[in-house]
Chain A
Amino acid sequence: MSVAVPTGTIARWLYSTLSGDPTLQGLLGGAPPATRIYERVMPEGAASYPVVIFAHQADADVRPAGKQFVMVDALYQIKVVDKEESFAEEAEPVAAQVFALLDNQSGAASDGGLVLYCQRQRSFELDEVDEGTSYRHLGAIYRILAQ
C-alpha cells in the first residue's frame, strides 16, 4: 500500500489531470507554469480569467472492520471562476471540459498514490461582486476515493 497522504495524492492528481490537458489549457488561455489552475484560492496579483480552483471540503477514512486503513473517501469542490461579462463564452466550455476530465475517472498521482474513483455529486453556482465587478463561480462537489 502507498504511504502517500491521500488528500495530497488527490490534490496532485487533480492538478496534473487538469493542467496536463491541452484542450483545457487552450480554453484557459494559459500554459505551464501559468496554468490558471489553483488550489483553494487565486494567488494574490492573479488577474486573468477564467480560472479553475479546486479545494478540499471534507473526508473520512474508510476502515472496514474498524481497523486497517483502506482509503480516504473525500469531497472536493472544483469550480471555474470568470467575470460575468465573459462567462457564457469562456467559462462554460471550461466547466464542461473539467467535467469530462474528472467524472468517472481514476489514475495514479505523482507521489505514488492512487485515485480510485472520482465522480461529480452536485453542481453549484455562486455570484460574487467585488469593487463593482461581477464574477460567477460554476462548479461541483466531487467525491474522490484515494489511497
Chain B
Amino acid sequence: MTDAIVITSDLLPALLAAIPERLQTEVIDYGADRVQQHAVEHMGDYPPASDPGGPPAKRTGDYAAGIQAQHGTGPLEAQVTAPGVPGLFLELGTRKMAPRPHLVPATVEAVPEIAAALPRVVLP
C-alpha cells in the first residue's frame, strides 16, 4: 500500500536554491502549513454529500482535524499527513467511489504562495 503521494514542482527547487539553508527550512515549513490549511478549508460541511471530483465533506470533523503539517521530518523536508487509509481512498477513490481530491489540489494551490512568500522571508 502506498504511504505517500509526492508531488514535485518545477518552480520551487530553483527558487529555494537561491537562498540560505536556514531560510529554506522556513519556507518549506510555511509551505507545509499552507498545504494543510488549503486541504481543510475547501471541505464543506455534511450534508450535502461531497460532489465526485470535489473535496470531501466534513461529517464529524475528525478526518479534517487529522490532517497535519509536520515540520523537520528530514533535511529540508516537511510533510503533510492525513489519516492513512481514509485519506488515500478519499484522494484516489475506490472502485465504486469517485475520488475526492483535496491533498493534491492543496499542494498545487500552495506552490505559487510559497514562491510569493520568498521575498518576505529573505527580506523581512
Q: A interface vs B, CB < 8 Å? A: 40-42, 51, 53, 55-60, 75, 77, 79, 81, 121-128, 130, 135, 137, 139, 141
Which of the residues A55, A58, A128 comes within 8 Å of B105, measured between beta carbons? A58
CA distance A121 to B6 in the complex (A): 8
Find out whether the CB atom of A128 lies under 8 angstroms from the CB atom of B108.
no
Q: Is the CB of A60 within 8 A of B104?
A: no
Query: Interface majority SS on A: helix, strand, loop or mixed?
Result: strand
**Alpha-carbon separation in the docked complex, A124 to B97 (Å):** 17
Query: Which of B5, B53, B95, B111 has a CB less than 8 Å from the CB of A141?
Result: B5
Given contacts A41-B93, A42-B95, A121-B7, contact A75 B104 (CB under 8 A): yes
- Given A55-B93, A58-B107, A128-B94, A77 contacting B99 (CB threshold 8 A): yes
Query: Are B92 and A41 in contact (CB-based, < 8 A)?
Result: no
In this complex, how many residues of chain B approach chain A with their Cβ under 8 Å: the count is 27
Residues of B within 8 A of A58 (CB): 101, 104-105, 107-109
B residues less than 8 Å from A56 (CB atoms): 53, 101
Q: Give the contacting residue for A124; candidates B8, B92, B95, B98; CB below 8 A.
A: B92
Q: Given A55-B98, A57-B99, A58-B107, check contact A40 B5 (CB 8 Å).
A: no
